[in-house]
Amino acid sequence: MKKKLFSLILLFSCPFFLFSQITKDTLKLFNTKEKQIKGWSFGAIPAIAFDSDIGFKYGAVLNLFDYGNGSIYPAYRHSIYFEWSRTTKGSGINQITYDSKHLIKGIRFTGEISFFQEQALDFYGFNGYQAYYNHVYENDDPNNPDYLSRMYYRIDRQLFRFSFDFLSLRKEKALQWVLGYGLYDINIGKVDINSLNEGRDADKLLPSVDTTTSLFEKYKNWGIIPKNQENGGSTQIIKIGIVFDTRDNESNPMHGIWTEALLLLSPSLIGNTYNYSQFAISHRQYFTLKKEVLNLACRIAYQGKISGEMPFYMLPFLFASNKPTRDGLGGAKTVRGVLRNRLVGEGMFYGNFELRWKFLRTRLLKQNFHIASSTFTDIGQVIQYYNFIKSNIPQYYNIDSNNESLHFGYGCSLHFVLNSNFVLNFTYGKANDPQDGNSAFYINLNYLF
């Protein structure tokens, strides 16, 4: 543990060390001006990465950008994103995303078609701290008498998602409207232990997950999860909203504001089994502390149910005008350092506060390139509880209706940025409370917001 901690400290202190060693010969690296990029450019990496939540990842990621004649750089005309990847914990991503402000005149169009397979998706119950997390149940140390299974807090989920969004581009106007549609087809079941045990040594086999060794199976038996929802289902979402955007650069802003308010409708009129509505609002603001070098990025957001009945399998999804997530609060995309899906309820609040320093800027293979480091603090809380039947829950499994409070994560990141749009991140996050896990290391694309 000490060696890992030392390595992480060394990794994230390197930018500060480099900055302190600047000489006249190397100063030009830091003062290099970005040049216009014309035509098609791309960022491509093998998807060889590690995420504490989903394991070792392998595959390929390709992001194509069309800058046209270069007059709009760093904005682009078209972006096409491809990902095919698998992880050692059974997850898989097959995703194509297209984004353009020039396909339809006066409209920004974003479309996605994806299939996600997660054989060991995190499931910790509902309403944050109301659902007690006990790490010893999944700690397979031979000296741990309370070990049940490393899959105790896991479920199997397959998600097919098809979505498209239209954002108006009113000339010289910051206030825009957004209209979108999303189809979410979800299959849920218990973890396939036989599949995960293939190729393992006999002394490393996972024990079977049944009604005694899976939180999800217990929730089904206790009636917390309704019988007609336990296998998942299909949901269609209509999105209507407004966006106020004054950012100077979309993928890597130094200053400006992005505020959006969305009404999310799932009406039975279009074939939904469950009729409900939600409201989501998010405010992001970027403060320049030193031009082109140092800035503070902040995000505060809320999403909650307005009416109707939400199926439990739709609770984790957080929505934005063009970038939906497939997880609840916690993990690489929301509250870093905290366990993925740790905070799930009908209404959730979260915030991110990040100090970003671009400490090296240069040209690499005729492309604009810079490296930045950041430190952050993330928060989140369930503020609208998911209500369920409690009469069948054993007394030993106490649920405290007043136990939820703020969850904290903090850490630092290193960002490698090509042409201001292709961003590769290495992030270390630490949970403040053992009830939210310990720490996590993420490798991802793009800034968090």
What is the DSSP secondary-structure string of 292-332?
TTEEEEEEEEEEEEEEE---GGGTT----SS---SS-BSST
What is the DSSP code string of 341-380?
T-B-SSEEEEEEEEEEEEEEEEEETTEEEEEEEEEEEEEE
In this prediction, residues 286-295 reach a mean pLDDT of: 94
Q: Give the Cα separation of 153 and 214 in Å (integer).
A: 6
Structure tokens of 118?
């997660």
In this prediction, residues 391-416 reach a mean pLDDT of: 85
In angstroms, the first-to-last Cα distance of the chain is 31
The predicted pLDDT at position 22 comes to 39
Range from 85-89, 281-285, 371-375 carrying the lowest mean pLDDT = 85-89
Which letter, b or e, does each residue of 87-122 get, where b requires 16 or more Cβ atoms within 10 Å of its Cβ?
A: bebbbbbbbebbbbbbeeeebbbbbbebebbbbbbb
Report CA torsion sign: 50, 53, 54, 55.
Answer: positive
Q: Which residue has the higher pLDDT, 422 or 381?
A: 381
Q: Give the Cα separation of 220 and 325 in Å (integer).
A: 25
What is the DSSP code string of 385-424?
PPP---TTS-TTS---TT----EEEEEEEEEEEETTTEEE
- Which domain, by its residues, includes 336? 2-445
The predicted pLDDT at position 14 comes to 39
Query: Scanning the structure block, which residue is given the tokens 């994103």?
Result: 81
Tens of pLDDT, residues 251-261: 889 999 999 99
Q: How many residues in total does the chain contain?
A: 449
Tens of pLDDT, residues 170-195: 877 899 999 999 999 999 998 878 77
Residue 15 pLDDT class (50, 70, 90 cuts): very low
Q: Give the Cα separation of 272 and 43 in Å (integer).
A: 39
pLDDT at residue 300 greater than cutoff 70: yes
Q: Which residues pair with 210 in a beta bridge?
A: none
In this prediction, residues 396-403 reach a mean pLDDT of: 70
The predicted pLDDT at position 140 comes to 83
pLDDT at residue 13 greater than cutoff 50: no
Range from 85-99, 372-386, 423-437 carrying the lowest mean pLDDT = 85-99
The predicted pLDDT at position 434 comes to 94
In the chain, how many domains are there? Answer: 1
- What's this model's pTM, rounded to 2 decimal places? 0.84
Question: What percent of the chain clears pLDDT 70, i.e. is strictly above it?
Answer: 86
Q: Give the Cα separation of 364 and 371 in Å (integer).
A: 12
Q: Which residues pair with 92 in a beta bridge?
A: 86, 117
The predicted pLDDT at position 141 comes to 86
Q: Give, in degrees to the nearest 5, the angle at Cα 155 between 149 and 161.
A: 155
pLDDT at residue 3 greater than cutoff 90: no
Map residue 203 onto helix, strand or coil: helix
Range from 53-62, 236-245, 343-352 carrying the lowest mean pLDDT = 53-62
Q: Which residue has the higher pLDDT, 116 or 18?
A: 116
Q: Give the Cα separation of 335 and 122 in Å (integer).
A: 15
Residue 397 pLDDT class (50, 70, 90 cuts): confident
Which letter, b or e, does each residue of 207-240 get, where b requires 16 or more Cβ atoms within 10 Å of its Cβ?
A: eebeeebbbbbbbbebebbeeebbebbebbbbbe
The predicted pLDDT at position 26 comes to 42
Average pLDDT score over the chain:
86
CATH of the domain at 30: 2.40.160.50
Residue 25 pLDDT class (50, 70, 90 cuts): very low
Range from 76-85, 231-240, 259-268 carrying the lowest mean pLDDT = 76-85
